[in-house]
Amino acid sequence: MSLKWYSDPKPEQFKNPAAAFRLNALDDLLTSPDQPSADEIWWLAALEFGTNKDGSPRSLEEFMDWIPSQFIDQLFVPPEYYYPDSLLETETNSVTVVAQRALLNLINQVDSDAPVSMLDLGGVASPDMLRYFRDGPELNLRHIHEQLPEGAAVIAVIDSGIAVGHNLFRKRGSGTALDKTRVAFLWNMDGATTPSSPPQHWFRSGIDTLLALNMHEDHLDEATFYAQIGLIDWPRHGLNPVAHRISHGTHVMGLAAGLEPKDADLLDKRPIIAVQLPTNLVRDVSGANMSPAIKQALQFIRRAAKRFTIGLTSNRPPVVVNFSFGDFSGPHDGTGKMAEVLGKGFKSSSTNIRAVVLPSGNGNLSRCHAQVDLTARYPRADLNWRVQPEDLTVSSVEIWLPKSAAVPPVGSISLSVDHPAIAHSVTVECVPGAKAHLTAKDGTKIGHVSFTGPLHPTLRSRFTISIRPTAAADRIVALAPAGVWRLTLELGQSADDLRLEAWIARDETLPGFPDFGRQSYFDNSDYVRFYRPGVAVSPFDLPALIGKPLSYDPADPGLVRRAGTISGFACASAPAVLAGIVQPDRTIAAYSSGGPTDNPDRMGPDASATTDDSPVLAGVLSAGSNSGSLVAMRGTSVAAPQAVRWIAAELRPSKHDGRTLIRDMATSHPKLPEVRAGKGHMNVDPPFGSQRRPRPEA
């Protein structure tokens, strides 16, 4: 008898396994009568080019030369990379593109010779977005030159639902009406791109013209104004945040830059750059789709910021950027894609961006983080991942190994995934590229599990579990079962002890948005949600009342942790990160996330600001969508813009960056542990509604 030896093919390893799953495993959810082929779908993507072997940076030009001829029609690069302003240093070591999946799959393979070190997948490109990338006109800012007075600072806001016509963002012209805007530049990324549509880019002169056209008896016809500027467009969008009573971006920008006529000395010193994100992008709260658009937004802010000078000098005013978004997933060490994008937001020699300010996140009680220590004595651990019914989105978990450039030895760690409603459990070993499909009992593929080795810049291996939605509103498709998925981590017999960190991707429906995601969470029985007699609570949770929700891990916390739930966006070293506190006794808000992180330069947030006026008066007041209105909103999203407002006033006389400034001015307090509140409370009040909140003596 003769024997034949066959070598197993090398497993296909993707730089971004979650992107590979979304590109290739959801065809029935992505196709429709209007879009019959998933191969023809256009995706928004961010590409990082990395470096050559000699250390020199790779570039967009190298990438364009590399693209195989059969794929050249499957990619478009936006116009800003081809029509830079004369002073613009275009960042060509990374780029945002729209592309089709055949090319993206090729780029995403670890063994590909593409000059791309990392791919981050955004959402499906809308027809308007595709037209902008394919046919967008040159954005020419060279004719604009804004002279600002001494002491000025530019405030930039990236958000959704920004009512730029609110009276807090206007000033008086020659008469009594507030008919002049303080918004010097606006990019409505959600705008249409047809020839008959309002433009996406607006400058001060164009906004002033619209204000004048819609001003009647010193009052602005806001409905018509927003329709003409493209921020309300009912034929195109079923959801227009600016049309709601409260809109996230308006509230945030009000706290960061809103001024009343009585603030006359500041009206010309705080010009605004606003970037309105696409609504469909914001709807997906996982953050997985975000980085391509944020790279574009920061590029626009850098370009616009160069059009300002102090008087007739060549000196540029400082720029402070607010981005009040967060997520749960990522490595939490500063090397995640969004953390890197935001951390590099002000690395430019010719702009004066001095701070990017972020919230710490609202996931402290979300049960989306687990810490697993595997030892020779306890070599196995089970995580119960509860996926909710009626979830219209993909759910996913990442389990990160410790930092190491080396792949763990084969057999040192494995992950098994099981659920009563699937055909069989699957086990994936720590072999780069190893993966297994999760299948229903009828054989339908409903998810996958994969292992990825260490890749630059995050030199950490990870397991990724992704499953399909548990519901579909408008079609019959394969669905994943809801309920508890058992994730079993097991150490090999001769393996060294390991500490693993697991994070569930954020997945919920935002207030005011149509039903979308429902947040999954870890549901281990040893997680103590509420105080009961006998639980050794943290001293920061005292006094402990029976039934009180605990906002700190008890002395024996189990696998699922509150610690380490800080937003994955907020883990880089450079940005300033704000937590939230409740007045009047200055306790940390129960939802406010904290560290530690795996970045040695960041324990947690840098400082904290007021996010609730009292335990019964939730939130703080700021601009509603309509002029003259103030509404309350809570969350660490409202802490960040208060810091932006303060930093803008302090940067000019200081040579420090914004993060250093707020850490230096924060006031420590016995109820504010540094891992949750940073250096302490910023002793500044929200700018509006002071009658709502009596304050203790400082």
Ordered DSSP codes for 219-238: EE-HHHHHHHHTS--TTT-S
**Contact, 211 vs 485, CB < 8 A?**
no
**Contact, 677 vs 580, CB < 8 A?**
no
The answer on 506 and 472 residing in a single domain is: yes
**What burial class does residue 457 get, using C-beta atoms within 10 Å of its C-beta: 0-12 exposed, 13-18 middle, 19+ buried?**
middle
E-only strand ranges, 472-548? 483-491, 498-504, 521-522
Single pTM value for the model: 0.91
What are the tens digits of pLDDT across the range 244-298? 999 999 999 999 999 998 898 999 999 999 999 998 888 888 777 788 899 889 9
* Rounded-to-integer distance, Cα 358 and Cα 570, Å: 6
**Number of Cβ within a 10 Å radius of residue 3:** 4
What are the tens digits of pLDDT across the range 105-114? 999 998 888 9
**Contact, 562 vs 551, CB < 8 A?**
yes
What are the tens digits of pLDDT across the range 471-510? 987 777 889 999 999 999 999 987 889 999 999 999 988 8
* Residue 345 pLDDT class (50, 70, 90 cuts): low
> What number is the average pLDDT over the span 650-667?
81
**Contact, 201 vs 290, CB < 8 A?**
no
The answer on 447 and 466 residing in a single domain is: yes
Residue 69 has pLDDT above 70, yes or no: yes
Indicate the SS3 state at residue 425. coil
Name 69's Cβ contacts closer than 8 Å, sequence gap at least 6.
none
- Residue 530 in domain: no
The answer on 352 and 311 residing in a single domain is: yes
According to DSSP, the residues that pair with 274 across neighbouring strands are 157, 186
The vertex-651 CA angle with 689 and 165, nearest 5°, equals: 45
- Residue 130 in domain: yes
The answer on 291 and 210 residing in a single domain is: yes
Residue 120 has pLDDT above 60, yes or no: yes
- Residue 553 in domain: no
Residue 1 has pLDDT above 50, yes or no: no
> What number is the average pLDDT over the span 174-190?
93
What are the tens digits of pLDDT across the range 507-524? 988 877 777 889 999 999
E-only strand ranges, 90-220? 94-99, 118-124, 146-148, 154-159, 170-171, 180-181, 183-188, 201-203, 215-216, 219-220
* Rounded-to-integer distance, Cα 257 and Cα 642, Å: 9
Mean per-residue pLDDT over the chain, rounded:
88
Q: How many structural domains does the chain have?
A: 3
Mark which of 79, 100, 135 sits at the end of a domain: 135
**Contact, 568 vs 328, CB < 8 A?**
yes
Mark which of 490, 522, 554 sits at the end of a domain: 522
> What number is the average pLDDT over the span 354-381?
95
Percent with pLDDT over 70 in the chain:
94
The pLDDT of residue 292 is 87
- Residue 281 in domain: yes
Which of 327-341, 419-433, 539-553 bottoms out in mean pLDDT, i.e. has the lowest? 539-553
Total residues found in the chain within this entry: 698
Percent with pLDDT over 90 in the chain:
58
The answer on 441 and 580 residing in a single domain is: no
The pLDDT of residue 656 is 74
- Residue 645 in domain: yes
**Number of Cβ within a 10 Å radius of residue 689:** 17
The pLDDT of residue 283 is 84
Name 599's Cβ contacts closer than 8 Å, sequence gap at least 6.
332, 333, 334, 571, 572, 573
The answer on 416 and 356 residing in a single domain is: no
* Rounded-to-integer distance, Cα 198 and Cα 228, Å: 7
> What number is the average pLDDT over the span 21-34?
80
- Residue 546 in domain: no
In the block, residue with structure tokens 């001769």:
494
The answer on 299 and 151 residing in a single domain is: yes
Residue 659 has pLDDT above 80, yes or no: yes
Which domain covers residue 22, as residue numbers? 17-135
CATH of the domain at 408: 2.60.120.1290
The answer on 379 and 503 residing in a single domain is: yes
Higher pLDDT, 211 or 658: 211
* Rounded-to-integer distance, Cα 200 and Cα 473, Å: 32
Residue 86 has pLDDT above 60, yes or no: no
* Rounded-to-integer distance, Cα 127 and Cα 565, Å: 36
* Rounded-to-integer distance, Cα 11 and Cα 405, Å: 19
The pLDDT of residue 3 is 42
What are the tens digits of pLDDT across the range 563-582? 999 999 999 999 999 999 99
Closest residue by Cα to residue 34 from 474, 451, 643, 581:
474
- Residue 531 in domain: no
What are the tens digits of pLDDT across the range 617-626? 999 999 999 9
Name 117's Cβ contacts closer than 8 Å, sequence gap at least 6.
15, 48, 49, 50, 51, 58, 455, 456
* Residue 447 pLDDT class (50, 70, 90 cuts): very high
- Residue 7 in domain: no
The answer on 290 and 188 residing in a single domain is: yes
* Residue 6 pLDDT class (50, 70, 90 cuts): very low
What are the tens digits of pLDDT across the range 405-422? 788 888 899 999 999 999
The pLDDT of residue 53 is 75
* Rounded-to-integer distance, Cα 479 and Cα 317, Å: 53
* Rounded-to-integer distance, Cα 529 and Cα 434, Å: 36
Residue 446 has pLDDT above 50, yes or no: yes
The pLDDT of residue 636 is 97
Q: Residue 441, CB half-sphere, CA atoms under 13 Å: how many?
A: 5
**Contact, 647 vs 661, CB < 8 A?**
yes
* Residue 91 pLDDT class (50, 70, 90 cuts): low
The pLDDT of residue 665 is 86
> What number is the average pLDDT over the span 392-398?
93
The answer on 332 and 184 residing in a single domain is: yes
The pLDDT of residue 694 is 60
* Rounded-to-integer distance, Cα 224 and Cα 232, Å: 9
The answer on 382 and 346 residing in a single domain is: no
What are the tens digits of pLDDT across the range 579-604? 999 988 889 999 999 999 999 999 99
Mark which of 135, 165, 194 sits at the end of a domain: 135
* Rounded-to-integer distance, Cα 594 and Cα 597, Å: 9
The answer on 384 and 255 residing in a single domain is: no
CATH of the domain at 693: 3.40.50.200
* Residue 698 pLDDT class (50, 70, 90 cuts): very low
